[in-house]
Amino acid sequence: MWWNSQWLLYLILKGALTMKVVYQTCCGVDVHKSFLVATIIKTSSGIEPSYQKKRFSTFNNSILQFKDWLMKNQCRDVCMESTGKYWVPVFNLLEDEINVTIANPKWVKAVKGNKDDTKDSRWIRDLFRLGLVPGSYIPCKPIRILREFTRYRYKLTSCRTSEKNRYQNALTVCNVALDSVVSDIFGKSATSVIDYLIGQSDNSINHEEIASRLLRSLKKKSDSVIESIEGYQMTDSQKYRMRLVRAHLDYITSTINDIDTMLDSLVTPYENAVQLLCT
């Protein structure tokens, strides 16, 4: 689609095609980490369009100056591409009074070999002016904050899964086949048995002690549990590593619980919508 937009704009600029101007006054912005380049175009009937270009830093005071510059030029429609997260600080300070369209970079990609900051901002401006730029969905700020927490929770959940796999692999390396007997290696009985193994000064086990640590249905499998760990080989350094992994798992779980508490608070205004989604 970006190629079609380029081709259409090329034909328009060459006079081979006419299109209705959607935004009489608008601005194209090329955003970078430390600065942005903005170009305003003003279109009046029968009058050649006028252009203004200006460069600003991405510090908050400078972004507010950019906003004032837009307001002084009666420019309420702005388009910029979603380059990494660089667009977010600009969007945060403009969204209350300016109609900001965030475009996927592939829809506003300039012609190869004909690129610089000024040309990029002009290219975005020209495409946007003619309504050739589809805007990306940007939710309101409360939803954006909520989404940040849900995404962070997802990352932590993935990290916890990796740590669980690392913990279970460490047991296998130490000749502990407990996972072949118990359904949940992180259950109370299995955790108690592993704590016992890690706490031993040598690699011997007390059968009665192991049996006493098993709960409910696992008591019937005490012989299998003992057989699965008999003769285990666990060095002090391996025990230390397993303690580290366990501590990290506990920390991640605690953090996820804290995030869940925050999420419960953040979704309170949207309880009806959540109930509808869950039905």
pLDDT in tens, 38-82: 999 998 766 678 889 999 999 999 999 999 999 999 999 999 988
Q: What's residue 197's pLDDT? A: 94
Nearest to 211 by CA among 201, 203, 202, 221: 221
Residues 17 and 123 in one domain: yes
pTM confidence score:
0.80
Q: What's residue 59's pLDDT? A: 97
Give the tens place of pLDDT for each residue, 233-242: 999 999 999 9
What is the DSSP annotation of 165-227?
HHHHHHHHHTT--GGGT-S-TTSHHHHHHHHHHHH-SSS---HHHHHHT--GGGGGGHHHHHH
Band (pLDDT 50/70/90 cuts) for residue 269 is: very high
Which among 136, 154, 185 is the end of a domain?
Answer: 136
Instruction: Output phi, psi for 168, to 5 deg.
Output: -70, -40
Q: What's residue 19's pLDDT? A: 66
Instruction: Output phi, psi for 95, to 5 deg.
Output: -60, -25
Higher pLDDT pick, 118 / 11: 118
For 23, counting Cβ atoms within 10 Å of its Cβ (0-12 exposed, 13-18 middle, 19+ buried), the class is buried
State which amino acid sits at residue 115: K
State which amino acid sits at residue 274: V
CATH code, 262 = 1.10.287
- Measure CA 166 to chain center: 24
Which among 102, 121, 136 is the end of a domain?
Answer: 136
Residues 167 and 121 in one domain: no
| In contact, 3 and 52? CB cutoff 8 Å | no
The separation between the first and the last C-alpha atoms of the chain, rounded to the nearest angstrom, is: 38
Give the tens place of pLDDT for each residue, 158-169: 999 999 999 999
% of residues, the chain, pLDDT over 70: 89
Range of the domain at 207: 142-278
